[in-house]
A = this chain, B = another copy of it.
Amino acid sequence: MKKRRVKLEDIARKLNISIATVSRALDKNPRVKPSTREKVFETANAMGYMPNQIAKSLSSGKTNIIGVIIPRYDEPFFIEVCRGIDHYAREHHYKILISSSRNSFEFERENLISYEKGLVDGIILSPTHETETFIHIQNIINKGIPVVLFDNIKQKVNGATHVIIEDDKASFSAVEFLVKKRKKTIAFIGGIKEKKVFQDRFKGYLKALKKHNIAVDDRLILHCSSLDREYEDAEIQNFFNRIPIQPDAVFACTDNYGLLAMKTLLNLGYKIPEDVSVIGFGDLGLGQIFVPSMTCIAQPSFEMGQKVAELLIDQLHEIDDVVPQKKVIKLDTKLVLRDST
């Protein structure tokens, strides 16, 4: 069934020249005579030659593959980042190997180890909420494999570049916006408490309330604990069904939470934005479709992907001896106003 691949040797034999010459000819190396090169190209085509990437990689020590680890697929933010990575990477002749850590530290570690086997030239990683220790990442870096981290970074990792947004600032400004609209009972819907981004978004919420002398009311605060799409809905419905006071605004830490909140509130008979304003976080398209459309903090996801890829690829091309400056890159967010506020 499986056909034997044509290799350099086959071309060499047919033309009665050496493998080295064939290799160089295909490389357009000026050391081989134009006429020879032509002949090589012709027979290579005729024979259907296709270089063996694996052999090339073994010889060169480069695979031109970037390993990407995200906590989950079913979060549009991560997919959008991947799209950004793919865009930049392809332009620079890299391919991407994506895997999901499924919100599990163990999976994240396993993935990292599998990448350590030399399959990838560098790694882009967004740590899970479970990730408390970073030695598994440090280990990889110590082996000389460049790593770029994005989103949800609990701890600065020495030698890695970080790309983040300022979650606390962003949520602070969103909540302050609500306060300035004279909202007094602002509900907060966050995600799992263990996740740094949610912690920071919560901090921003608290800070805005404090600044404007609004008392924090625990009954208005929900930290969703679901890791799956299916349970988030129930959790948020529960929350609003039982809430003892009527909120006049909701600040949600993701677009999805925001949409689910709007859905639940509408079903409970609230009018948006008359009775209650809602702000989401992310701005990944769905907020624009919902009726009413949702005000969001726009996070530059695609751009984040591009940036992350750019930084990694830059690092891959650095001269080995130059000890590179590792950086923390902060991308800007902005509040996009729509009908829900």
Interface residues of A (CB under 8 A from B): 1-3, 5, 50-55, 57-58, 63, 65, 73-74, 76, 79-80, 82-83, 86, 90, 95-100, 113-114, 116-119, 142-144, 229, 233, 256, 259-260, 262-263, 266-267, 285-286, 288-291, 320-323
Contact = CB atoms under 8 A, between A and B. Distances in A.
B95 A114 contact: yes
18 contacts: A2-B320, A5-B143, A52-B117, A55-B58, A55-B118, A58-B58, A65-B97, A73-B83, A74-B80, A74-B285, A86-B98, A86-B99, A96-B99, A98-B98, A259-B289, A260-B289, A267-B291, A291-B291
Contacts of A290: 263, 289-291
Contacts of A100: 83, 86
A114 B321 CA distance: 32
A82 B86 contact: no
Contacts of A1: 144, 320-323
A76 B117 CA distance: 32
A308 to B, nearest CB: 15
Contacts of A83: 73-74, 100
Most B C-beta atoms less than 10 A away, residue of A51, A118, A142? A118
B118 A288 contact: no
A148 B31 CA distance: 43
A226 to B, nearest CB: 14
Given A54-B54, A288-B233, A82 B73 contact: yes
